[in-house]
Amino acid sequence: MADLEIPSGSQMLQQQQQQLPPPQPMRLEVEPSTSSSASTNAGSSSSSGAATPSSSSVTTVVVDVIATTAAVVDESLEPCKKKPRVDSGEKCQSPCKEQISKGVTTEKLEYRLGGILCCAVCLDLPKAAIYQCTNGHLMCAGCFTHLLADARLRDEVATCPNCRVEISKHQASRNLAVEKAVNELPSECQYCNKEYPRNTLDRHERELCEERTTRCMYHRIGCPWRGPYHEVQSHHESCSHPNKSGAEVMDILRVFDQDIEKEKKMYNSIFDLLSYENITFNDLQLKPYRTDEFVHKLYYETSRFSAFTNQWVVKARINNNQRDPTQSCQRQFTYQLILKTKPTTPLDISFVILKGPFGDMKLCPKIHQFEFTEQNNESPYFTLPLVDSGEANRLLSAKTIQFRLIAFRQ
C-alpha cells in the first residue's frame, strides 16, 4: 500500500484559493443618448461631468468588489486564534511580579535567612545544636535524634529527609557557623511581641519583660492570681490573702505539706536503704535487640552481672511493648529486673536506676521493691522516670544506654 501524503496547512490554503473564482472587475456601461439631447446639452455635460463616468468612480467600484471577494475567501478558511486582550492602562496586580521586575523585595533579611537556616524536618529555627548531612542539609538536635530513633525502631538505616543520604552520629557533623548565625537572628517575645536576639530572648522572657506572667507573692498562702509583671504591685496592694485569719491560712498550708511529705518520704527511704547490710551497684549497658516474631520488635537487654551471689539481667522495652511505637509522638521506657539463677531463699530486693558516671541520662530516680523467688524470678515492668519524651528519643538514637543500678538487700 502506497504511503498517503497528508497536505500541510499552507498547501490546503492554496488549494482553497485556487477553487474560488477569480474576482472580476465591474465595468460601468453608459447608454448612448439621442443626438438632439447630446447637441443641446453638450456645454452643460462638459461643465458638470454628470453624464460621462470618471476614472476614479470606476476604480472605487472595482476595489469594493475585490474586498467583498476577499471577505468570502477569509470566511471559508479556519480563523486564527485570538490573542488575549491586554489593557494598556491596567497595572500589574501581583506584587511579586512587580518586585521581581524592579529587582527589589520588601521582605526583611532576617526572615529570608530564617527560611534558609531552618530545620529540614520541622521547618523551625533550631534552638540548640544544628547538625548537617554530608550534602549540607540542616537538622535541629531534636529532629536529628528523632530520625535516628525512628530508624532504630524500624530496624532501618537513618537517612536525610531531603537527599536520602545515610546519616548517623558519626557521619553527620555540627554546623557551628549556622548555630552562631541563628543565635543573632531576631525572635519575637511571646509576652510583649517585641524582637530580641535569640541568644538573649530567654533571659528577657524570664527576668526583664514587663508583660511576663508572674504569680502573687502570697501564692504560698493560697493566692491564685497570675498576671503581667507590671500589674503585680497594684495587685499586692489589693490582695486579700494577707488579711486572712490563721485558720484559713492553715487549711491552705496543709495542701503544701502533703507534697513536701512525699519528697521527705523518698529521701528518708534512701537513708534507710543505705543502712542495709548488703548494698551493691553495677554500671551497665542496655543494648538493642530484636524479637523473633513476624514483626520484629525492639527491646533492650544488658549482659549478665553478679549481685548477692546470683546472676541478674535488666531488660527494657519501648511504650510498654506497643505494636508500632513509630506512630506515637510520646515515647517512654519500661524496664524489669530478672533473676537468672535459682535462689535458695527468697530475695527481697530494693533497686533504683541512676545515670551513673558514664551515662548522661536525665531522669528523676525512683526506688522499687520486689521479692524474687524460684517461681517468680521476674519483676514487673516499671516506668523509667525520664524527664520527657525527647529524652527517650535521645536514648533511642544512641547505640547503647549506660546507667548505674544500685540494689539493696536487708
pLDDT at 100: 46
> Is 242:256 a contact under the CB 8 Å cutoff?
no
pLDDT at 291: 82
pLDDT at 67: 57
Superfamily of domain 109-187: Zinc/RING finger domain, C3HC4 (zinc finger) (3.30.40.10)
Contacts of 215 (CB under 8 A, 6+ apart): 223, 225, 226
- Which residues of the chain register pLDDT less than 70? 1-106, 295, 323
CA 265, CA 200: separation in Å to the nearest integer? Answer: 40
> Is 126:166 a contact under the CB 8 Å cutoff?
no
Mean pLDDT of the chain: 78
Helix (H, G, I), strand (E, B) or coil at 55: helix
> Is 204:212 a contact under the CB 8 Å cutoff?
no
pLDDT at 44: 43
The matching CATH number, chosen from 3.40.50.1010, 1.10.3720.10, 2.60.210.10, 3.90.550.10, for 276-409 is 2.60.210.10
Kindly list the distances between the CA atom of residue 297 and the CA atoms of 154, 194, 334, 380, in Å, as whole numbers in the listed order: 8, 48, 14, 19
C-alpha cell at 12: 490546503
- Residue for cell digits 519528697? 263
pLDDT at 97: 46
Percent of the chain with pLDDT over 90: 26
pLDDT at 90: 44
pLDDT at 192: 92
pLDDT at 102: 53
pLDDT at 160: 92
**Where do the domains of the chain lie?**
109-187, 276-409
Q: What is the pLDDT of residues 163-202, one digit of tens each?
A: 999 998 888 899 999 988 888 888 888 899 898 888 888 8
pLDDT at 324: 73
Q: Torsion over CA of 396, 397, 399 and 404, rounded to 10 degrees?
A: -50
Helix (H, G, I), strand (E, B) or coil at 13: helix
